[in-house]
Chain A
Amino acid sequence: MNFQKVISGFFFILAMTTNFGFFYGDPSNIEFHSSWELFAAIVVNLIATILKLGDKTQLGSVLLATSLVADIQLIGAASVWALAVYVLGGLNLESTVVIISMSGGALLANIVSVLLFIGDTLKSKR
C-alpha cells in the first residue's frame, strides 16, 4: 500500500464529495446549500491543489489544471456570495443561481480529476 496515494486519493475524492454536497439541492433556493459546505469544499480543494503541485509528468499537469479550475470556480462562487450579501444588499434569485452553477462547474472539474486519478491507479502495476 502506498501511503502517499492514500493521502492524495483521500483529498482528491473529498474535494469532489464536499463539492457535490454543496451543489446538491434546488439551485434557486440558497437554504438547501450550506455555506459551511462551500467553505469545506474550498479548503479541501486548495489542499488537493497543493498536493498535486510538483508532479512533472503529463498526467500531473492535467490533474493540476483540473484542480486550478475547481479552485477558481469555488472561490468565484464564494466571492459572488460575499458581494451579493455585503455590497448588493442580499441574495436574490440570480446571484443564488450563479453561486450554485459555479460550484457545479467546479464539480465537473473535480469529477474529471478523480477519473484521471483512478485511471492512473488502475494502470499502475505496483
Chain B
Amino acid sequence: MESNSAWIIIHRMRIPILVIIVTFAISIIGLMLIPGRDANGNIYHFSFFDAFYFVSYMATTIGFGEIPYEFTYPQRLWVNFTIFLTVIGWFYGIGNIVALVQDKKLARELAVARFRSKIKKITEPFIIVLGYNNVTREIINRLNSEGIRIVVVDKDESKIEQIELENYIPEVPAISADTTKPQTLKIAGIHQKNCKAVVVLFEDDIKNAKIALMCKLLNKRVDVIVKSTTKENTEHLRNIGIRHIEDPFQIISDRLYFEITAPYIWLLEMWIFGHILRIRKREFLPKGKYIICGYGRMGHALANALQRAGIEYVSIDIKSSDYKKKKQSAIYGDAEDIQMLVKAGIKEASCIIAATKDDMINLTILSTAKKLNPAIYTIARENSLEDISIFKSARIDKIYILERILAKYTYNFIANPMANKFIRLIHKKDNIWAMNLVGKMSATIGRNPSLFEITLDEEHAYALYNELQKGEKIPLGVLKRSRANWKSDNKIMFLLYEHKEEEGHKTILLPDDDLLIQPGASLLVACDERAREDFEYIINNFYELYYARYGKELHPGFIGYIESRSKAS
C-alpha cells in the first residue's frame, strides 16, 4: 500500500469498527439468552442467525419489525437497550466517515495521489514549472500549444485553481505545495526518466539558487533553467553545474549593445523571437548622448552596454520608491525634475532610457523628456504585462519588457535549443557577416522566413535515417531540392548543423551543401511554407528522397530488381 490516503482512512476507522463489532456482539448474545414465545405460546430461543439478522436491520434503523414471532416483554426491554447501544455505535461510525470526507489532511493526500498518478501516466518528456505568474504563464501557454507536457507547482492554492480553469490540452497537472522542499520536487516527478527540465524563475535570487541546487542534487541529468540577477549568484550557480542561467538584465544589456554596434546581429536574434527580417527605420538607435533614468540593476546593465559600445551617457539616479515617498506622487516632471533633466543635458541628448521599477514614473519621465526635446529617442522599461496597452499608445520608440524577454528565452531553451545555440554563435560574429546573411536570406526566402528545427532520427526523418544507416552518403544539398524539379532548389536555408560525436558536439554554422549528413544530426532551418512541406516529404518518403537524389523515379518490386541488376552488371 503506497498511498498515504488509504492508511489515513484505515487508521481513523479502527475505533468505529471496533465499537460496531462489540455492540453487535453484546446485542446478539442478549437476544439469544432471553427466551421468547412462538404463536402457540411455546418457549423458543433465538438462533445465532435470527439474532444476527434482527440486530443487523435494527442497528441500521431499517426495522422490519419483530420476527420470527412477536416479542415478549423481557425481549422488548433488551431490544430497547440494544437499539440505543447499536444505533449510537453505528452513527458514531457514519459520523466518522463523514468527518473523514471533510478532513483536510485526507483531501490533501488524495490530491497528491491524483497528481502523482497523472504524472506517472505521462510517457513523453515533461517539464516542471515552479511558480505560476505572468512569466511562467506565457511559457506554459506557448509550450502547451506545442504539445509539450508541463507540470506546475505553486504555493498558492488559488493559482492552482486558475490553472485548472484554463483547460489546457494536453492537461497540465498542478498542485499547491511548498516549492522550496525536496519532497515537493519528488512529488512533481523530478526522479522520473522523462523529466527533462525544471523552470525556476522566482523574483528572489536566493530562493532560486536554493531550489536549483536541490534539483541538481535530486537528479543530475535534469536541466535547470534558473533566473539570477547578480554576478556572484550566477557564478555560484555555474559552480554547481547549472548550464542555463537567465539574467534578464544581462540579456537586455547584450541586446542594447548589439543594437547599437551591430544592428544586423540584433536583427537575426530578434527574428528568431518573431520579428520580421528587416530593420524598420525607427528601430535604428541614435549614436549620440544617452541619458539613463533609474540606476538600479537595469540601469547598471544598460550603462554597461553603452560603455562597451563606446557611447557617451549620463545617468540620473531615480529610485521609484524613494521618489514616491518624497513627492507623494508617481508623476515625474515638476520644476525640480525638469531642472535635473536639463542639467543632465536633455536638450542635446539623442536618447533617453526610463529604467525605474515603476511604470507610471517611466511614462512620465519620457513624456517630460519629449516636451523638452521633441526629437529625442525614447526607451522604456515596462515592469508588468498588465500595463502594456498604455505603453503602446504612449508612442514610445522602444519598450523592454523583462517578463516577456524572460518567458521567450525560457521557451526557446526548452522548445528550440538549436535556435538558442545559433544566437550564441552569431554573437561572436560581426555586423558585416550578419548583414550578408540577412541579405542572403531575404534574397533566397523572402522578408519573413519561418524557422524550425528538426532532428534527423528515425522518428522525424524515416527515409533519410534508414538510407544513412545503410551507409549511403547523402549531402545536405539534396534536402534543399524541389520535389517538382530536382535541379532547382526550394526557398530554404540551413543555418545550423549539429551532430553528437563521442568527443562532444560538432556544430557547423551555415553548413555547406556538400556536407555529408550523419544519422541523428540536428538542423536549424529557415524556409517558407512550401519548402518546409517538400523538405518533410523528402526526408520521410523513400520515393521522394530517391527522386531528389537521382532525378528519376524509384521502381519498387520486380522492375526495380531488374533495374538494380542491370546497373550492377
Contacts and interface: CB of A to CB of B under 8 A. Distances in A.
Interface in A36-72: 39, 43, 46-47, 50-51, 53-54, 56
A84 to B, nearest CB: 11
B7 A56 contact: yes
B14 A50 contact: yes
Contacts of B1: 56
Nearest to A61: B1
A118 interface: no
Contact of B28 (A39, A85, A86): A39
A50 B153 CA distance: 38
B18 A54 contact: no
Interface in B38-79: 47-49
A78 interface: yes
Given A46-B21, A47-B18, A47-B22, A54 B11 contact: yes
Contacts of A39: 25, 28-29, 48
A82 B17 CA distance: 24
A78 B21 contact: no
A35 interface: yes
Interface string B6-46: 01001101100110011001001100000000000000000
Contacts of A53: 10-11, 13-14
Nearest to B26: A43
Given A56-B7, A82-B49, A86-B49, A43 B14 contact: no
B10 A54 contact: yes
B48 A54 contact: no
A54 B18 CA distance: 13
B21 A35 contact: no
Contacts of A50: 14, 17-18, 21
The majority secondary structure among interface residues of chain A is helix
A10 B388 CA distance: 74
Interface residues of B, number: 16
B21 A54 contact: no
Contacts of B11: 53-54
A80 to B, nearest CB: 12
A47 B1 CA distance: 22
Contact of A43 (B13, B17, B25): B25
A82 B47 CA distance: 9
A35 B48 contact: yes
Interface size range on A against B: 10 to 19
Nearest to B22: A47
Given A53-B10, A54-B11, A43 B48 contact: no
B48 A82 contact: yes
A54 B13 CA distance: 10
A85 B22 CA distance: 26
B21 A47 contact: yes
Contacts of B48: 35, 39, 78, 82
A47 B20 CA distance: 10
Given A43-B25, A54-B7, A54-B11, A85 B47 contact: yes
Nearest to A64: B10
Most central of B1, B22, B25 by chain A CB within 10 Å: B25
A39 to B, nearest CB: 6
A20 B163 CA distance: 61
B14 A54 contact: yes
A53 B416 CA distance: 53
A47 B22 CA distance: 8
Contacts of B25: 39, 43
B12 to A, nearest CB: 9
Nearest to A54: B11
Contacts of A35: 48
Nearest to B16: A50
Contacts of B7: 54, 56
Contacts of B10: 53-54
Given A53-B10, A54-B7, A54-B11, A43 B49 contact: no
25 contacts: A35-B48, A39-B25, A39-B28, A39-B29, A39-B48, A43-B25, A46-B21, A47-B18, A47-B21, A50-B17, A50-B18, A50-B21, A51-B14, A51-B18, A53-B10, A53-B13, A53-B14, A54-B7, A54-B11, A56-B1, A56-B7, A82-B48, A82-B49, A85-B47, A85-B49
Given A46-B21, A53-B13, A56-B1, 17 more contacts: A35-B48, A39-B29, A39-B48, A43-B22, A43-B25, A47-B21, A47-B22, A50-B21, A53-B14, A54-B10, A54-B11, A56-B7, A78-B48, A82-B48, A82-B49, A85-B47, A85-B49
Interface of B: 1, 7, 10-11, 13-14, 17-18, 21-22, 25, 28-29, 47-49
Interface of A: 35, 39, 43, 46-47, 50-51, 53-54, 56, 78, 82, 85-86
